[in-house]
A and B are shown apart, each in its own frame.
Chain A
Amino acid sequence: MPTTHDVLFRTLADPTRRALFERLCREGEKTVGALTVRAGISQPAVSKHLGILKRAGLVRDRHEGRETHYRAQIGALAPLLDWTGRMAGFWEKRFDALEDLLKRMDQ
């Protein structure tokens, strides 16, 4: 099963999705139409990317009449921004390096 990190990384690895997400962060709630104007891709393509962002929990949608409004869910980035998660992997690798060094110090 993919972890939260995997899903977030995969979702944000695409530059078009990242641009859409970044715009929603900066400019607040937007309709699909408004997002399409400057996205440089078709509205169905924008909708598809928004669907992927939604499944990753990065955006939330709201229906109003015939329009769908999207807004960013910054809290979904918390696992990536949490330094404890980043540092745990860092120290594992450094301890491996320390183990190597200690062996070499014997010689």
Chain B
Amino acid sequence: MTDTTTQSETRSVVLEREFPHPAEKLWRALTQPHLIADWLMQNDFKPAVGHRFNLRAEPRAGWNGIIDCEVRVVEPNKTLAYTWESGEGALAIRSVVTFSLTPKGTGTLLRMEQTGFRPDQKQNYTGAQYGWQHFLGRLEQVLAATA
């Protein structure tokens, strides 16, 4: 992780993990709403390109807990991608999440890549509207969780 404050570049989070389960089974966990709710969040997902849905977490100080999504790619047992947008101000995330499944022996390699693009709000910290309240709310949550 870098300490860059430049906001123009695209940044990604990548996580890969091998699961001792076939791709078909992982696909179900990624695309069936009651299963998505079990490991990720409450949702109204449908595996249809263009479908708009929400992922819902517990609201917390400075964040309403809602992630706005739109399905971008559905290739059964292979690739699933949707947009992932939430938050405001300094804590805003405008990104696309892509899950890729690759068979590995009897199991499956799951790769998750979350790619962010330039936030539509400029991160202007000098004015009163720079999301300080968001930051503090979030910080207090983090501190409470790590205490």
Chain A residues at the B interface, C-beta cutoff of 8 Å: 4, 9, 12-13, 18, 22, 25-26, 74-75, 77-85, 87-88, 91-92, 94-95, 97-102, 105
Q: Are B1 and A105 interface neighbours, CB within 8 A?
A: no
Task: List the B side residues contacting A22 at CB < 8 Å.
Answer: 132, 136
Q: Interface size class for chain B?
A: 35 or more
5 closest Cβ pairs, A-B complex: A97-B39, A98-B39, A74-B125, A101-B39, A87-B13
Asked if B146 is an interface residue, CB under 8 A from chain A, the answer is yes
Q: Are B116 and A13 interface neighbours, CB within 8 A?
A: no
Output the nearest chain A residue to B41 by Cβ-Cβ distance.
Answer: A94
Q: How far is the CA of A25 from the CA of B135 in the complex (A)?
A: 13
Q: Are B29 and A101 interface neighbours, CB within 8 A?
A: yes
Chain B residues at the A interface, C-beta cutoff of 8 Å: 1, 3-5, 11-13, 15, 17, 19, 21, 25-26, 28-29, 35, 38-40, 90-91, 93, 95, 110, 112, 114, 116, 123, 125, 128, 130, 132, 135-136, 139, 142-143, 146
- Known contacts A81-B90, A98-B39; A9 and B29 CB within 8 A of each other: no
Task: List the A side residues contacting B4 at CB < 8 Å.
Answer: 78
Q: Are B13 and A102 interface neighbours, CB within 8 A?
A: no
Task: List the A side residues contacting B25 at CB < 8 Å.
Answer: 102, 105
Q: How far is the CA of A9 from the CA of B19 in the complex (A)?
A: 35
Q: Are A88 and B116 interface neighbours, CB within 8 A?
A: no
Q: How far is the CA of A90 from the CA of B5 in the complex (A)?
A: 21
